[in-house]
Structure 1
Amino acid sequence: MASNTSKTVNDQKVRGMTPGCSPLVESLPGRGTGALVFKRPNDGPPACYYRYHLAGKPVLLKLGSYRRTTREVGFTLPELRDKATAMAQIAKEHGDVKAYLAKQASDAEAARIEQERAVEAARLNAEEEARERQRLAEIEASRGTLGELFLDYIEARRGKATPGVIRELERLYQANMLTPHPAIVAIKARDIRPDHILAILDPIWSRGAKVQADRMRSFLVAAFNHGLRAENAVGRANAKRYSLESNPAAVVAVEKVSAPVERALSDAELRQFWTTIESTEGVGPVMALLFKFVIATGGQRIFNICQTTWDDYNLEAGTVRLVHRKGRKDAGAGASERPHLVPLSPRAVEILERVRAVNGCHPWPWTTTGKQHIVVSSPRHAVADWLASDHAGIDGKEITSFSPRDLRRTCAQLMQKHGVSDSLSDLLQAHGQTGVVGRHYRNNPEAALPEKLRAIELFDRALVMVLGEVVEQADNVVKLEKKKA
């Protein structure tokens, strides 16, 4: 019987193997390099093994199935020889081929797992980064621009400031921000720097509107302060966030330019203002009567009048008690209060009776809300409304701008023109009451009433002439009827 132990195997021999036949063996070139072993235990194709010796014992390592035809799965004889040669090299270098291959497979599996973990971690990290980018994009989209901040500030002022103030803020926004500086207006409010504020204010200053530059700066400061406060307010309607950390407008300095202090209304201007203020759009009836009352009382300080309550009007004496304060409220002993009694002319009484018909149920005569007296800025805005109306002109010539405090100067000059002495005028207006006058009258305001009565009488005569009224013989001071409880 022929032996199958030939050291050379060819395709004919391998194909000729029958199920259960003896193995075919082919030694690899070189001593101790091992051999190829072919076995066919069943009807399947022959299986090829690499045989090597480890510690004197033979070890078989399956290389794969022999491919008898092109349609079968497996390896050709040359491919199996190459695989065996590779195993022989491993055996030569590492000894135990199976252990080496097992370790290689384990290392490869570990590497595969690590790679999968790295890929998964990278995927999760990419998803997290995408979510973070989305979150930041949403935050960025919700962050308001400078323009949105200023408009938000304007909306916050609605219901608190007069319509005239709101219109002025909207006008300044259009004229000084949106139209000349659209790029700055579009910058996120948190990214605005002082140089952006300067870019807005410098053109205003350069065209000579220095007072407006200062006001614009004040409005910008107020807008940023609003943004700093409002973002953390509970129940805020506006969803915009500004992420402000500081107020860039606050560090910008605008040289203070005092408004001209020589402005006084002429007789014609005073008459025009008196006769039209009540019919001016945007100026409420109480505000209009406030201006008339200030004039009728000889030019008292308008905010002192605003602060009075009904209790400050002495119905029996026919006077109003004003309080002039000097120094800050928190200045302790450095702050002082000085009472000032002002007699009421029939004209002033008539005005006050009209106010009582409107505000008699409130603590203050001079209130437009019933919740507090008129604030200091409201008269200024009301005058601005009048100046912006069709009434602010005489014979086609526009009346020069003035402020509420100019009414005080107007009354003082009116008295001067009509022969009222400076001392009487100053006494009536509580102006410059120092020295001898202060020592005699400051601690006893009632002692000055006779002189003040004479001053108000002379002033009202002058006012009658300016207003072109018909003079009627009547008492110069009328006592108010007692206010109903």
Structure 2
Amino acid sequence: MKTEKNTNSQRRLLTDADIRALPKGKTATESQAGRGTGATIFEARESGDIDAYFRVRMNGKSTKIKIGIFKRTDKKSGLTLKEIRDKARDLSAIAVKHGDVKKYLELQREAEEREIRERELAFSEALVAAEEENKTASFEELFIDYIDSLEGTRGIEYIKELRRVLNNELKQNHQIIMNKKANSITPKDIIEILQPIWDRNSKSMSGKVRAYLHTAFEFGLKNEHSLKRKNKSIYCLDSNPVSSIPKDHKTKAIKRSLNSKELNYFWHSFLKYESVGPVVTRFLLFLTATGGQRVMQVAREPWTSYDLRRGVLKTEHRKGKIEPRIHLVPLTERAIKLLQEAHSINPSSKYPWSTNGKKPIDINTLSDAVNKWINSPLSVMDGEEFEKFTPRDLRRTCAQIMQFKGIPDLDSDILQSHGINGVVEDHYRNNPYAFMPKNWNTINAFEEALNDILNGKDLDKDDIYKFDFL
């Protein structure tokens, strides 16, 4: 009988032809690698079938377990030689690790059957409990459940805004609608809520409330049967009543950014403005010096997130219910100097950017600081009032400075912690540390431009960027 040889172990391996050639009533044996690991037995039956068994001898006792029927031809059912060997190898591993193979397999079957019974019992109990409760949540309960589901996944300010809308817009003005069952709410009810907001000329607010209500109903549609939910309210929704309400208000894209002259003037003037605290001043400039980072993403990080020796800040980009994305920010000498100045103001604070040394700076503090400066005599530039802007406009300003320097959009987006979408980015290019060489190139080029601006150079009038129509 022909056999294959495994040159590594010198085991005699059977071929498909060897097994097919077995006379009826005869057997062929193929040993497992190693001593005491068992063997695979092939037995030819009178019916023409060839059964495969795993046999092992332990503690003087021989155990034989059927693996299956050998697949003699492509048209026949059964297991291939490779599949039989794989199963035999698994059984051999059980024998080596657990000893009694039959007992181990029996215990596994019992555990699986027990788990199935427990799941069926738990499911039956859940159905009984649901039938006993027989209660559909109200619109107010649905909205509260939606807010509660955001804890730990969305920013504090966003959740505060939702609670404010619930109490001041929905409950205060439309309690009857809020008391209705969630599945009985109609588009007419939604219009009744939104129309007064629109009529008082708060069109942007009307759009926001519409978005909040739409998302709350989407939450109810998609999460009623989620295993992760703590609150087991029943909504029984079939559709989203907000979907048929058109988005009548279109938010205008914000385009305000500071030109070179404005940024130079604001930077030097803001440093001299004593009506704003020194930490707030330096924080706003630090965000600019780091290429326009997100306010809350930086504000919430303690000193332990900073590696000043390597010049790196580790932040987390949090959005929705997905896992936070690590974002590493390279720190230039200018950024580190601002950090050191903040530390000298609050040396014992857990957070570098804190006004009281106990908790991170409030995001609204920056907006208030900018508004104060704009309304002060210091904001007058060349005899004219400084055009209003917000801290977010500084982030846009940084992006445009990088455009002037010829920095690729992708590199600029990575530095500013914009999400880079796509399967490759999600599953392969997802190591934040691997972006650091590119981030250092980006921040160094940005720092060169920022340094030119703060020294009086006007990028908008640079010879490189002059055009006849300007």
| TM-score, L = length of structure 1 | 0.43
Structure 1 or 2, whichever has the larger Rg, is 1
| TM-score, L = length of structure 2 | 0.44
